[in-house]
Amino acid sequence: MKSRTQRFPLLIVAAAAMTFSASAAWADIKVGFNVPLTGFAAGDGKSALDGAKLAVAQANAAGGVAGQKIELVVYDDQASPKEAVPSATKMVEKDQVVAAVSGSYSGSTRAAASIFQRAQVPYVVAYAIHPDITLAGDYMFRVSAMGEVQGRGGAKLVQNLGKKNVVLITLKNDFGQALAAGFKEAAPKLGINIINEYEYGMPDRQFGPLVSKVKSDNPEVIYASGYFFTAGPLVSQLRAAGITAPIIGQEGYDSEKFIEIAGDASEGTLITTSLDRDSSSPSTKAFLADYKKATGSGADMVAAASYTAASVVIEGLKKTGGKGGEALKNAIAAGTYDMPIGKLAFNDLHEVKKDVQVQVIKDKAFHRHSVISDPVLLAPPTKAK
Amino acid sequence: MLTLNLVAQGLIQGSIYALVALGLTLVYGLLRILHVAHAALFTLGGYVGVLVCNASGSLALGFLCAALVSGFGGVIMFRLAYQPLLKQPPYVALIASIGLFIASEEAFRIIFGPQGFSFTDPSLQQQIVIGGGLQFKLAELLVMLSTAVIIGILAWLQARTRVGIACQATVSDPQMAESFGISLRQVRDINFFVGSALAGFAGVWVALLNNLVEPTMGSVPSYKALAIIVLGGLGSVPGTLAAALLLGVIESFGTIYLGDFLDRNAIAFAFLIAVLMVRPQGLFARR
């Protein structure tokens, strides 16, 4: 009994402290962040969250925005539209975020887009590449090259390699199909012959039959979309079957985990992505070093793109003094940004125009292979489309 | 050559299905429970195999530990989750099983992280070329071979040993078996142990073939194995084996020739529906 009365004042102090910290948090500028932290995409989700957190931490360490701290309000969307809708609604209604960032895949980002558009909350998308996202309205922004553009970049790479006969292995989701659409659109113009296209599903890790068929097709190049957890087994199985044709992947491969899974078979794999590890740009170098220091692992495209998307929001907030809504939308749209994934500016559809980075895996690390810059071929769509 | 390759790939996949589905069919035969959480033990085996092999450098030890841990995991699962529910209608156990499976996926993610693990130095990756055009990883050939051996041993145990005969007797008439002095509890434990150990064993093979274990690796086997045991005539070991291999081969051809309009994972169920329309008792049911 005695001990209870002794603890009682402590409780009051604790309650008071909580009230104070709560009121301090109330004044923070809230930025929403939807990201897959559970489910099949949780690996990418972790990178995305680390990237975005780094951007926020750096901004807060440098004094925040208009004297206020930025708070990242994180929701796990499991990369699923049915989770993304309630989390977007909560961000808008309950948390009243001034802006939001997508660190998630196309399916969930598309679903969240219309909610943010309706609420006039600027939504900056890191690496979801489906075209419909920016079509949701003028509050949408995307910092990565959209799927079709990257697909066209892939076709251009085939031409640059001096090859002609290609087999497409397409992941059957928004990501894979957008890439394939871009590739197929550009292929005839570049004199590329698509021998066959095969599709596979997200849960597939065993590609035996598909590999046998690709082998009998005998292509000069394989253009295969996927994420590191599907592409790792796929590339390793293609090589195990004795297929030696170059394999072109995309930003979904862009993870050290891909090299770990595919092992020796990953050597020589080419990817089109937005992060150039051998870049001489100071902002890229600084990001790579800071990320390594903060997390202990090497940055991938997902981390770099999420860092970029969060930074774009923060720069916009600095211009508006922490205000959201239309002012923030206009500020973000008008800005130019020097980011780890390159120099960015938005067009009238709020897509970025940028070069496609080609990386190659050499000695178990990503290195620069080439840069594809073709302003006509790689032009993102505009409103006029 | 392509046809031969597709058959071979189908048999490789079918062997893994067989290893997973056998445990499921043993459980179903004995307790009439659709044991969805069986796939969690498959994942557990994969993780244990990779972790032990990376730590010790011995793949054999990895296999052994995976089979043991999954085996005991299965017995614990039975004792804690299913045994208290045996008097309830079968769907109660099914619901518990689905819950267990979902919880286990999340547990793997929380404990081991979302990105999964790979072998630091994967073994059995040597290329084997047969007759010019057929090329395999050594692991692919060994998975077929080891499945054949294990199932052979299992069939022998079941037909020729006291424990095996006790199991069979319990399946056909539990009350009568008990009155002959067979310990039901022991038979059930053994069944769960053997079935779960097989799943763990299969988990390590899949880890080797893909060089990846991840929290969600059990999601496809969890429901596909159910389709296989239904095809095989619920509870029949040879039927399950045949159905697993057949489904592997059908999927292999289906992926290539039906892939444009039917998902690979939908093929299993399209086939299941087609079979059930003609033979409602399953392809290989004895009764």
Q: Which of B6, B106, B210 sits opposite A233 (nearest CB)?
A: B210
pLDDT score at B211? 87
Q: Which residues of B touch A303 (CB under 8 A)?
A: none
The 10 Å Cβ neighbour count of residue A334 is 11
Global ipTM: 0.84
The residues that bridge with A72 in the sheet, in sequence order, are: A31
CB-CB contact of A215 with A161 (8 Å): no
Q: Decide if B6 and A40 are in contact by the 8 Å CB cutoff.
A: no
pLDDT above 90 for A73: yes
**Mean pLDDT estimate for chain A:** 87
Q: Which residues of B touch A197 (CB under 8 A)?
A: none
Please state which of the ranges A16-20, B267-271, B274-278 shows the lowest mean pLDDT. A16-20
pLDDT score at B285? 64
Distance between CA B129 and CA A241 in Å, rounded? Answer: 9
Q: DSSP secondary-structure letter at A223?
A: E
Question: Tokens 């804690």 map to which residue?
Answer: B80
Q: Which residues of B touch A211 (CB under 8 A)?
A: 9
Q: Is A91 exposed, middle or buried (0-12, 13-18, 19+ CB in 10 A)?
A: buried
Residue of A nearest to B4 (CA): A212
Distance between CA B32 and CA A274 in Å, rounded? Answer: 53
Q: DSSP secondary-structure letter at A303?
A: H
Chain B interface includes A238 (CB < 8 A):
no
pLDDT digit string, tens, across residues B67-98? 999 999 999 999 998 888 888 888 888 899 99
Query: Encoding tokens for residue B73?
Result: 């995991």
Nearest chain A CA: its distance from B244 CA (Å)? 16
Nearest chain B CA: its distance from A76 CA (Å)? 13
What does the pLDDT average to over A90-115?
Answer: 93
Select from B6, B250, B257, B264 the residue whose CB has the most chain A CBs within 10 Å, as the one to mutate to test that interface. Answer: B264
Residue of B nearest to A216 (CA): B2
Q: What is the pTM of this model?
A: 0.82
Q: Decide if B212 and A232 are in contact by the 8 Å CB cutoff.
A: yes
Q: Is B29 exposed, middle or buried (0-12, 13-18, 19+ CB in 10 A)?
A: buried
Chain B interface includes A355 (CB < 8 A):
no
pLDDT above 70 for A330: yes
- CA end-to-end span of chain A: 76
Nearest chain B CA: its distance from A152 CA (Å)? 23
Q: Hey, which bits of B104-151 come out as E strands?
A: 127-130, 134-137
pLDDT above 80 for A18: no
pLDDT score at A279? 85
Question: At B121, which amino acid appears?
Answer: D
Nearest chain A CA: its distance from B22 CA (Å)? 20
pLDDT above 80 for A139: yes
Query: Encoding tokens for residue B76?
Result: 């614990």
Residue of B nearest to A259 (CA): B118
Select from A35, A104, A212 the residue whose CB has the most chain B CBs within 10 Å, as the one to mutate to test that interface. Answer: A212
Q: Decide if A216 and B114 are in contact by the 8 Å CB cutoff.
A: no
Q: Residues near B164 by Cβ (< 8 Å), separated by ≥ 6?
A: B157, B158
Distance between CA A155 and CA A355 in Å, rounded? Answer: 14
Q: Which of A203, A206, A262 sits opposite B209 (nearest CB)?
A: A206
Please state which of the ranges A24-28, A75-79, A114-118, B252-256 shows the lowest mean pLDDT. A24-28
Question: Tokens 């970029």 map to which residue?
Answer: A308
pLDDT score at A264? 87
pLDDT above 70 for A314: yes
What does the pLDDT average to over B123-144?
Answer: 80
Residue of B nearest to A241 (CA): B135
**DSSP per position, B159-220:** HHSHHHHHHHHHHH-HHHHHHTT--HHHHHHHHHHHHHHHHHHHHHHHHHHHT-B-TTTTHH
Query: Encoding tokens for residue A308?
Result: 């970029």
Identify the CA nearest to A288 among candidates A54, A15, A6.
A54
Angle at A174 between CA A325 and CA B206, to 5 degrees: 125
Angle at A228 between CA B49 and CA A371, to 5 degrees: 150
Q: Which residues of A touch B113 (CB under 8 A)?
A: 46
Confidence of residue A22 (pLDDT cuts 50, 70, 90): very low
Identify the CA nearest to A357 among candidates A222, A256, A257, A249.
A249
Angle at A148 between CA A146 and CA A150, to 5 degrees: 70
Distance between CA A353 and CA A337 in Å, rounded? Answer: 12
Q: Which of B1, B135, B206 sits opposite A242 (nearest CB)?
A: B135
Please state which of the ranges A339-353, B57-71, B130-144 shows the lowest mean pLDDT. B130-144
Q: Decide if A200 and B122 are in contact by the 8 Å CB cutoff.
A: no
pLDDT above 90 for A3: no
Q: Which residues of B touch A238 (CB under 8 A)?
A: none
Q: Which of B13, B118, B216 sits opposite A206 (nearest CB)?
A: B13
Q: Decide if B114 and A37 are in contact by the 8 Å CB cutoff.
A: yes
Q: For chain A, what is the largest distance between any 2 Cα atoms, rounded to a whole number of angstroms?
A: 87
Q: Which residues of B touch A42 (CB under 8 A)?
A: 109, 114-115, 215
Q: Residues near A11 by Cβ (< 8 Å), separated by ≥ 6?
A: none
CB-CB contact of A48 with A70 (8 Å): no
Confidence of residue B132 (pLDDT cuts 50, 70, 90): low
pLDDT digit string, tens, across residues A164-217? 999 999 998 888 988 999 999 999 999 999 999 998 988 888 888 888 889 889
Nearest chain A CA: its distance from B186 CA (Å)? 37
Identify the CA nearest to A204 among candidates B258, B23, B255, B253.
B255
Please state which of the ranges A29-33, B11-15, B28-32, B187-191 shows the lowest mean pLDDT. B28-32
Give the three-class secondary structure for A261: helix
Query: Encoding tokens for residue A71?
Result: 């708070």
> What region does A31 belong to: left with phi over 0, alpha with psi -120 to 50, or beta?
beta
Burial per residue of A141-170, b for 16 or more beta-carbon CB atoms within 10 angstroms, e otherwise: bbbbbbbbbbbbbbbbbbbebebbbbbbbb
Nearest chain B CA: its distance from A68 CA (Å)? 33
